[in-house]
Structure 1
Amino acid sequence: MLLRIDHVGIACHDLEEKIKLFSELFELEVVTREVNEEQGVKEAMLRVAGDSYIQLLEPLSPDSPVGKFLAKRGEGVHHVAFGVGDVKLTMDEIAAKGVRLLDSAPRHGTMGSSIAFLHPKDVGGMLTELVQSAKHK
């Protein structure tokens, strides 16, 4: 079902500051920067190895999901994303096991991917994202 850890999402107050930190400290390459209005974030994906990334997320507003996360918990790990071959099929399989989905259908994600989130209360307290990369569509 799960093919890999696609990325770890990290919420931050200042995207440029965190890009500099991760780029210099871990020698990671920024592969894309995007503004995702639907999710209310500015983001950058930094390649760790192969198809694994660190996703840095800065909220566009304090009332966005990441903005609320930062206000409540501060900077840090926001979610873990797993790569899947077919996001819709995986959503159906997981829902059939009684896990609540935060998305009723796949939506647009970073780098042309299709994504969906699982309810953290049903996955051990961890916000979990399913990612079907653009090259697996």
Structure 2
Amino acid sequence: MPDDTVAKVTAIDHVGIAVPDLDEAIDFYQQTFGLVLTVTEVNEEQGVREAMLRAPGDDGSGTAIQLLAPLTPDSTIGKFLAKRGPGVQQLAYRVDDIEKASDAMRDKGMNVLFDKPRHGTENSRTQFIHPKSAGGVLVELVEPANP
């Protein structure tokens, strides 16, 4: 019998890292750790320029590093950098059904940040859980786009 009281995480999707300069950070992660750049894009809705990097040979099913640079100082990432400086900003879990996962979190009394899922990297759909509801960690739920 299905359990609709949990988010049904299928994988750790990515770790989001706030950076002041995206190009410099991409170069650092490529040169230092040998990670491979798989996508860069601008997400106007979230106010970021972002990049996804993966381990060499990753087919897209493994955990990625997401670098997030602010488009403006008053964006979420801009404010994060001003307050905390560069570093880990979020942990993202992959789910099959973002609506069911969001509802399950609401049913548990978690502070889910948005009424409806938002547009994420590579046309994914995302939702966030406030750090006060998740042990001090900003949690992102990610439903990947259908191939």
2-structure distance, mates of 1:26, 1:132 = 27
1:106 aligns with 2:113: no
> Aligned residues: percent identity?
51
Structure (1 or 2) with the larger CA radius of gyration: 2
State the secondary structure of the residue aligned to 1:62: coil
Q: Displaced runs of 4+ in structure 1, greater than 6 A? A: none
In the superposition, the TM-score normalised over structure 1's length comes to 0.96
How far, CA to CA, are the matches of 2:105 and 2:48 in structure 1?
Answer: 27
Q: Could you tell me how far apart the structure 1 residues matched to 2:70 and 2:92 are?
A: 18
Task: Report the alpha carbon displacement of residue 60 of structure 1 after superposing the two structures with TM.
Answer: 0.5
Q: Which has the higher helix share?
A: 1
**Pick from 102, 120, 136: which aligns with 1:125?**
136
Instruction: Report deviation, 1:64.
Output: 0.4
Paired residue for 1:31, among 38, 42, 54? Answer: 38
Q: Which runs of 5+ in 1 are unaligned?
A: none
Deviation for aligned residue 1:135 = 2.7
Give the alignment's TM-score, normalised by structure 2.
0.89
Matches within 5 A, 1:35-114: 35-48=42-55, 49=58, 50-51=60-61, 52-114=63-125
Task: State the Cα RMSD in Å.
Answer: 1.0
What secondary structure does 2:68 align onto? strand
Letter of the 1:23 counterpart: Q
Q: How many residues are paired up?
A: 136
Unaligned runs of 5+ in 2: 1-7
